[in-house]
Amino acid sequence: MRRLFCLFWIPCLLAACGASVESDYDGMEADTAEEDGTSEELQLDVPDVPAEHMDVPHESGRICTIDLVFCVDNSTSMQEEIRAFREDVWPFFAQALIEVSGGVDGSAFRAAVLDACPEPANFHTRGRDGECSFESGEVWMASDSSDLVGEFQCVGDIYTGDAECSGSNDDEQPATVAAISLEPPWHASSRPNGGFMRDEALLIVIAITDEDEHPVPSASPGDIYERLIAAKDGDVSKMIFLGIGGRGECEGSYGRAHESVMLMAITDYFIAEDRGIFWDLCGGRLEDGLTEAMDVISDACDEIFL
C-alpha cells in the first residue's frame, strides 16, 4: 500500500516570499489576506548547516511539537525539484527542525510525505526502490530516528505505482491532496493516516508544483484554504502553509516552471495571517529560502508554546 508523502514542511522561501502575492485567479481573490536523548546525542548523517541557514534562535526549555506534511507534484517535469529536496534541502531542513522544535525525542516533530494524486491519499512508506522501514514504526518519520535523512531520501524518491490518477492535471493538486490526507476516510483512529496529527502541534503543510494547483472537482483558492485550516478546527494560528511554484513563466534552476496562479492565491490567505510563504521556483535554488522559512516557523512556535 502506498503511503502519502505530503510533507507539511517545505524549507524554500526567499525574501520575496514574505509579501502578499497578487493573484489573478479567475473569479477569486484572497480577501483576507530509536533513541531519546539530547541534540548532542543525535547523530545525523548530514552536512554542517551554514550559519546563513541557521538564523533561528533556539529557545531554551521550549519544546515546539510539529506535524509536517510534504505534498509534491510527481509529474515528469518535477524530477529535478524532487532530486534537490532529496539530496540538498532535506539534510539542512532536518537539522533546522531539530533546532527550532527544541528537542530530538520522538514527540518533537514528525514528517509525512505524499504525492499530488488523491487516489490513494495515504502517507507513503516506500520509495521507488522499496519499503523505507521508518524507525518510528508508523507511516511517518519521527525526530528521534537515527537515520532521519536516510528515511527521507528513501521516501522522497516518490513512488506512485499505486496512483489511480489519469495524469491529466488530476495528479497536480498538492494543496488539495494535503487537505484530503488529513480528513476522513484517510485520517481517523483506524484509518491509514490515523494518529499522525496532534491537537497541540503546529501543522506545517508544504505544497510544491512546477505547474499549478488543479483541484478535482473544481474549487476556489478560498475553498482549499478553508479545507486546510479545518484540519486544525479552523484555527489558522496553529498552521503554516508553504507554497512552492512559479511566480511566472520561466526557465529556472530546475527547468521550466509555469505560473502557479491558484497556488499563489491559496498561499495568499495564509500570508495575510502571518502563516504563509510563497517561494518562486524561478527565483533560485530551493535551499536558498531555508532561513526565512525557519524564521516563520520559529515565530509561530514562540506564539504557541512560550
* pLDDT confidence bin for 138, thresholds 50/70/90: very high
Above 50 in pLDDT, residue 54? no
Least reliable range by pLDDT among 2-11, 112-121, 126-135: 2-11
Q: Domain for residue 83, yes or no? A: yes
Q: Domain for residue 294, yes or no? A: yes
Q: CA 55: distance to chain centroid?
A: 20
Least reliable range by pLDDT among 49-63, 75-89, 142-156, 185-199: 49-63
pLDDT tens-place string over residues 99-121: 888 766 667 889 999 999 999 99
Above 50 in pLDDT, residue 15? no
Of 28 and 123, more confident? 123
* pLDDT confidence bin for 39, thresholds 50/70/90: very low
- The count of domains in the chain is 1
State if pTM tops 0.85. Answer: no
Cβ neighbours of residue 230 under 8 Å, at least 6 residues apart?
179, 183
Q: Domain for residue 296, yes or no? A: yes
Average pLDDT, the chain: 81
Q: Domain for residue 184, yes or no? A: yes
31 grid coordinates: 480577501
What is the β-pairing status of strands 239-245 and 202-208?
Answer: parallel
Q: Domain for residue 50, yes or no? A: no
pLDDT of residue 25: 39
Residues of the chain with pLDDT > 70, as a percent, come to 78
Within a 13 Å sphere around the CA of 61, how many CA atoms are in the beta-carbon half?
1
CB 209 within 8 A of CB 246: no
pLDDT of residue 193: 97
pLDDT of residue 183: 97
Give CA–CA dist 223/221, Å, rounded.
Answer: 5
CATH of the domain at 105: 3.40.50.410
Q: Domain for residue 285, yes or no? A: yes
Rg (CA), the chain: 17
pLDDT of residue 22: 41
Q: Domain for residue 54, yes or no? A: no
Backbone phi, psi, residue 71, to 5°: -120, 125
The one-letter amino acid at 76: T
CA dihedral 127, 129, 130, 134 (to 10 degrees): -50
Domain that holds residue 216: 15-35+64-305
Q: Domain for residue 42, yes or no? A: no
* pLDDT confidence bin for 97, thresholds 50/70/90: confident
